[in-house]
């Protein structure tokens, strides 16, 4: 292995070390900005959905105010916040919608862009995405 | 020569005609590798090129340059992905052998099919089978070094997986492949009569969703009597500002090539995708 390769490898490992040291011990709920932060994420996501013709149609029969409340409650519960999700199951709410893989990915992309705009830390974004990705099987019609 | 250029142009037109950008997540189409298929730099990966999801088209146009001590390899490639299942690609490689003042050109036609799994979702990794039909166009040097054939087909199986929030709060991925090949130096020095099995391994970490660091290792056959062939390795930095463009910078260690020892240097690729 040449010296140049060793130097680059060392830089790579150092970069990883830095990323670790800035990680906070906060709960995911706190890293998302608590309930106020989650409310901003939900509202941002509603705007993204409204502008995305590919997924807007899925919400044609949705009571937006109820959806807004239940999604905020769900994100709070999923991120270990002080909430209990009282809405219907993911399987039940998506059963008749025939959600495609593409629509699911577009919503994930919308959510990521909202979290970037809200300056949510990358680690918190990834932690939330990991928890939400586990629900994909109940949402997407295979 | 004209056929490959024409095919690249035709694939570019198909890509431009695709009605809208694909829906898959940023960077999940990888980058066009030196053999034209979606992957890293020196190895193809299990991912399908571009951003087409189920029922969508995607693809990429790539340019890359590897500049090591005595050689420069330029690749132009075009790839099309459909349904996040099938990928077709064509590429032209131009290898300049600087001490001899000559060039060796090779065409690579690739196909890939996703057999099972998903790169991100679920617990099963994405499993892909692929082939690369290669045609060396300048066999003077390869023949002088003892290569038996001027064309060959590589077959491989690749598995790839990305784990969300895996280490340091970051997304991590790995890809492993088994390749059955008769190619000397990926075919640029011709092909042997018999194939052998080699392994390839890549892994990376997304610093955020736009920047990724990682490394690749590619085992190589060593089938020419006259000159030694070494395994290849690189470490890379990839940049995906959006789904339309991407760039990869790498430091590569290619070992001995055609009797010239310890070849190392930079690799740069840029691509347009959708």
Q: How far apart are CA B182 and CA B246, in angstroms?
A: 31
What residues in chain B have per-residue pLDDT under 70? 1-2, 13, 15-20
pLDDT at A115: 98
pLDDT at B122: 92
- The owner of tokens 């060959």 is B152
User: Which 3-state string (H, E, C) describes chain B?
Assistant: CHHHHHHHHHHHHHHHHCCCCCCCCCCCCCEECCCCCEECCCCECCCCCCCCCCCCEEEEEEEEEEEECCEEEEEEEEEEEECCCEEEEEEEEEEEECCCCEEEEEEEEEEEEEEECCCCCCCCCEEEEEEEEEEECCCHHHHHCCCCECEEEEEEEEEEEEEEEEECCEEEEEEEEEEEEEECHHHCCCEEEEEEEEEEEEEEEECCCCEEEEEEEECCCCCCCCCCCCCEEEEEEEECCCCCEEEEEEEEEEEEECCEEEEEEEEEEEEEEC
Asked whether the beta carbons of residue B264 and residue A103 sit closer than 8 angstroms, the reply is: no
Residue B23: closest C-alpha in chain A: A102
pLDDT at A21: 44
Looking at the complex, report in whole angstroms how far the Cα of residue A101 sits from the nearest Cα belonging to chain B: 6
B148: burial class by Cβ within 10 Å (0-12, 13-18, 19+)?
middle
Looking at the partner chain, which of B53, B205, B235 has a beta carbon nearest the beta carbon of A16? B205
Question: For residues B175 and B203, is the Cβ–Cβ distance under 8 A?
Answer: yes
Q: For an interface test with A, which of B22, B121, B231, B237 has the most A Cβ atoms less than 10 Å from its Cβ?
A: B121
Q: How far apart are CA A29 and CA A27, in angstroms?
A: 5
Question: For residues B250 and B267, is the Cβ–Cβ distance under 8 A?
Answer: yes
Which is nearest to B186 in space by CA: B225, B230, B145, B236? B230
Looking at the partner chain, which of A12, A102, A127 has a beta carbon nearest the beta carbon of B55? A102
Q: What is the ipTM of this complex?
A: 0.90
Question: For residues B84 and B54, is the Cβ–Cβ distance under 8 A?
Answer: yes
Q: Which residues of B14-29 are buried (b: 16+ CB within 10 A; e: fewer)?
A: ebeebeebbbbbbbbb
This prediction's pTM? 0.90
Looking at the complex, report in whole angstroms how far the Cα of residue B55 sits from the nearest Cα belonging to chain A: 8
Q: For an interface test with A, which of B169, B213, B261 has the most A Cβ atoms less than 10 Å from its Cβ?
A: B169
Angle, helices A64-78 vs A122-133, to 10°: value is 110
- Model confidence over A20-79: pLDDT tens digits? 444 456 899 999 999 999 999 999 999 999 999 989 999 999 999 999 999 999 999 999
Q: How far apart are CA A87 and CA A109, in angstroms?
A: 24
Domains and CATH numbers, chain A: 24-139 (1.10.490.10)
Q: For an interface test with A, which of B164, B262, B264 has the most A Cβ atoms less than 10 Å from its Cβ?
A: B164
Q: How far apart are CA B129 and CA B158, in angstroms?
A: 6
Question: For residues A46 and A38, is the Cβ–Cβ distance under 8 A?
Answer: no
Q: How far apart are CA B35 and CA B73, in angstroms?
A: 11
Residues from B in contact with A at Cβ < 8 Å = 22-26, 53-56, 84, 120-122, 164-165, 167-171, 205, 207-209, 213, 215, 233, 235, 251, 253, 262, 264
Q: How far apart are CA B42 and CA B35, in angstroms?
A: 8
Number of Cβ within 10 Å of residue B259's Cβ equals 12
| Residues of chain A contacting B265 with CB distance shorter than 8 Å | none
B2-273: CATH topology:
Porin (2.40.160)
Q: For Cα atoms B41, B200, B152, give the angle at the middle one, nearest 5 degrees.
A: 80
Residue B188, CA atoms < 13 Å, CB-side half-sphere: 23
Token reading at B214: 């990682």
């Amino acid at each position: 292995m040449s010296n140049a390769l060793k130097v680059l490898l060392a830089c790579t490992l150092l970069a990883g070390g830095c990323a670790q040291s800035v990680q906070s011990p906060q709960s995911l709920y706190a890293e998302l900005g608590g309930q106020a932060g989650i409310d901003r994420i939900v509202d941002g996501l509603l705007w993204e959905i409204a502008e995305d013709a590919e997924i807007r149609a899925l919400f044609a029969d949705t009571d937006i105010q109820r959806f807004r409340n239940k999604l905020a409650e769900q994100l709070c519960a999923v991120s270990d916040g002080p909430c209990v999700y009282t809405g219907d199951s993911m399987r039940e709410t998506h059963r008749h919608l025939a959600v495609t893989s593409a629509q699911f990915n577009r919503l994930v992309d919308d959510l990521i862009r909202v979290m970037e705009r809200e300056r949510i830390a990358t680690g918190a974004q990834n932690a939330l995405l990991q928890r939400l990705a586990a629900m994909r099987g109940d949402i997407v019609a295979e | 020569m004209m056929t490959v250029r024409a095919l690249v142009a035709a694939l570019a037109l198909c890509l431009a005609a695709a009605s809208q950008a694909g829906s898959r997540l940023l960077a999940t189409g990888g980058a066009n590798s030196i053999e034209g298929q979606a992957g890293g730099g020196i190895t193809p990966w299990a991912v399908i090129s571009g951003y087409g999801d189920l029922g969508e088209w995607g693809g990429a146009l790539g340019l890359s340059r590897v500049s090591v001590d005595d050689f420069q390899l330029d690749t132009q490639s075009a790839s099309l992905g459909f349904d996040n299942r099938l990928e077709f690609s064509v590429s032209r490689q131009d290898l300049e052998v600087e001490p001899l003042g000559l060039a060796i050109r090779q065409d690579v036609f690739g196909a890939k099919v996703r057999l099972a799994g998903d790169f991100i979702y679920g617990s099963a990794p994405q499993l892909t089978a692929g082939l690369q039909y290669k045609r060396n166009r300048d066999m003077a040097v390869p023949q002088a070094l003892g290569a038996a054939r001027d064309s060959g087909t590589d077959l491989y199986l690749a598995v790839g997986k990305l784990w969300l929030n895996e280490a340091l709060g970051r997304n991590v991925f790995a890809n492993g492949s088994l390749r059955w090949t008769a190619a000397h130096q990926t075919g640029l020095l011709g092909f042997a009569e018999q194939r052998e099995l080699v392994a390839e391994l890549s892994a990376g970490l997304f610093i955020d969703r736009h920047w990724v660091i990682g490394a690749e290792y590619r085992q190589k056959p060593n089938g020419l009597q006259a000159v030694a062939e070494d395994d290849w390795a690189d470490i890379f930095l990839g940049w995906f500002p959006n789904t339309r463009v991407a760039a990869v910078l790498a430091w590569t260690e290619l070992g001995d090539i055609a009797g010239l020892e310890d070849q190392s240097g930079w690799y740069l690729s840029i691509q347009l995708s959708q």
